[in-house]
Amino acid sequence: MARGHAHRAVTPPHPLRDPDPGDAMLTKVRRWFSADPREELKLALGDTPIPAFRGVVMEILKLLRDPVADHRKIGNAVAQDPGLSIRVLKLVNSPAYGLKRKVDNVPHAAALLGRNDLEEIVLALAVREALPQHAIADSSFWRIAARRAATARAIAQRIDPSQASLSFSGGLLQDLAVPMLASAKPDYLEIWQEAPGTRQLPELERQRYGWTHADVASWMCEAWSFPKPLRDAIEGHHTTADTAQIPVAVQVAALLEHHEDDPEALIEEGRDRFNLDPDLLELALHEGKEGGDRLAIAMAR
């Protein structure tokens, strides 16, 4: 999705408040003259610092992406982080894995999880830890994020396995800017709470600020040096135009916010918009719910 002033939706003033149109216009003008995502992020967050991942987390992610690193080396790296170790052991020993004997060795637990599951857990925990916790008290925010990630992966594994990892990350991180914005802008949480699970949020954000949470999330990913395909998937998860580079699984998973309590509606929209087989979607939604609940256990504080 192209940033800047092109193709911006025009919406009427919000009925519950009267935002100063000059503020949004000033933001737009400043963005037109700024091509640097870090500068755009600074304009959006003001004095709120950009969070950073801890060094041990970055080292673990690096090892997980290194085909030469073995499970023991990866497990030993995880063991250096007490908080992460506890959550990995908690997940492996949960009923979801159905082990007959309790696992109390972190390298063993890491081997049981496998690289893909472990990378997903580390990324999820790192993001949750890095973002402000006081801003979003609603536990359903992280539960939906976990379910969205697992659902995106389940769909991708069925239609394009090569994009399973990207789809998981894109599903998980779609709304990563929301806690940052709620912390940086006192009025943001009011907008977010008023339009949760609807398609109105991006329009309300553009009206008030001149950008959306998807834009800000993309700029955060740029600051963290995340791969461009991931940035594109996050930035475009709410748009219905120019989606050729966005995995279908990510776009479908984004619909969970709108249809979490109505899976039949999601299946119908997935069929109509993306020509996906309803039986495939039904299985993926079931698998995504189970996988998301497991991930939510690992993410729980």
Please tell me the least confidently modeled range out of 9-18, 20-29, 53-62, 119-128: 9-18
Mark whether 215 and 75 lie in a shared domain: no
pLDDT band at 226 (very low <50, low <70, confident <90, very high): confident
Q: What percent of the chain has pLDDT over 90?
A: 22
Mark whether 122 and 86 lie in a shared domain: yes
Top-confidence residue, 155 or 207: 155
Distance, CA of 109 to CA of 97 (rounded, Å): 11
Number of domains present in the structure of the chain: 2
Mark whether 29 and 108 lie in a shared domain: no
- Whether the predicted pLDDT of 62 surpasses 50: yes
Residue 184: HSE in the Cβ half-sphere, 13 Å Cα cutoff: 20
Mark whether 69 and 163 lie in a shared domain: no
Mark whether 27 and 166 lie in a shared domain: yes
User: In the predicted model, what is the mean pLDDT of the chain?
Assistant: 80
Residue 10 forms part of a structural domain: no
Mark whether 158 and 119 lie in a shared domain: no
Domain harbouring 203, CATH code: 1.10.3210.10
- Across 28-36, average pLDDT: 48
- Across 199-210, average pLDDT: 84
**What pLDDT, on a 0 to 100 scale, did the predictor assign at position 10?**
34
Q: What percent of the chain has pLDDT over 70?
A: 82
pLDDT band at 130 (very low <50, low <70, confident <90, very high): confident
Residue 7 forms part of a structural domain: no
Please tell me the least confidently modeled range out of 1-15, 134-148, 204-218, 221-235: 1-15
Distance, CA of 122 to CA of 181 (rounded, Å): 23
Structure tokens, 220: 């955060």
Q: Which of 187, 245, 188, 181 is nearest to 216 (CA)?
A: 181
Mark whether 163 and 112 lie in a shared domain: no
Domain boundary among 101, 130, 159: 130
**What pLDDT, on a 0 to 100 scale, did the predictor assign at position 264?**
92
Mark whether 91 and 34 lie in a shared domain: no
Mark whether 62 and 200 lie in a shared domain: no
Please tell me the least confidently modeled range out of 17-31, 47-61, 257-271: 17-31
Residue 71 forms part of a structural domain: yes
b/e sequence 229-246, b meaning 16+ C-beta within 10 Å: ebbbbbbbbbbeeebeeb
* Residue showing tokens 């082990």: 99
Residue 11 forms part of a structural domain: no
Domain boundary among 91, 107, 130: 130
Domain boundary among 105, 130, 155: 130
* Residue showing tokens 């069925």: 158
List the domain range (segments joined by +) for residue 231: 21-50+137-299
Mark whether 233 and 152 lie in a shared domain: yes
- Across 95-109, average pLDDT: 84
**What pLDDT, on a 0 to 100 scale, did the predictor assign at position 148?**
93
Residue 4 forms part of a structural domain: no
Residue 285 forms part of a structural domain: yes
Distance, CA of 152 to CA of 292 (rounded, Å): 10
Residue 100 forms part of a structural domain: yes
Please tell me the least confidently modeled range out of 32-46, 79-93, 186-200: 32-46
Over residues 242-292, the pLDDT tens digits come to: 555 788 999 999 888 778 778 899 999 999 999 999 999 999 999 999 989
**What pLDDT, on a 0 to 100 scale, did the predictor assign at position 55?**
84
**What pLDDT, on a 0 to 100 scale, did the predictor assign at position 33?**
42
**What pLDDT, on a 0 to 100 scale, did the predictor assign at position 22?**
46
Mark whether 88 and 118 lie in a shared domain: yes
**What pLDDT, on a 0 to 100 scale, did the predictor assign at position 42?**
78
Residue 5 forms part of a structural domain: no
Cβ 281 vs Cβ 264: under 8 Å: no
Mark whether 209 and 169 lie in a shared domain: yes
- Across 89-109, average pLDDT: 83
Over residues 167-203, the pLDDT tens digits come to: 999 999 998 899 899 888 888 888 887 775 556 788 8
Long-range contacts of 72-79 (CB under 8 A, 24+ apart): 72/107, 72/111, 74/107, 74/110, 74/115, 74/118, 75/105, 75/106, 75/107, 75/108, 75/109, 75/110, 75/111, 76/106, 76/107, 78/106, 78/107, 78/110, 78/118, 78/122, 79/106, 79/107
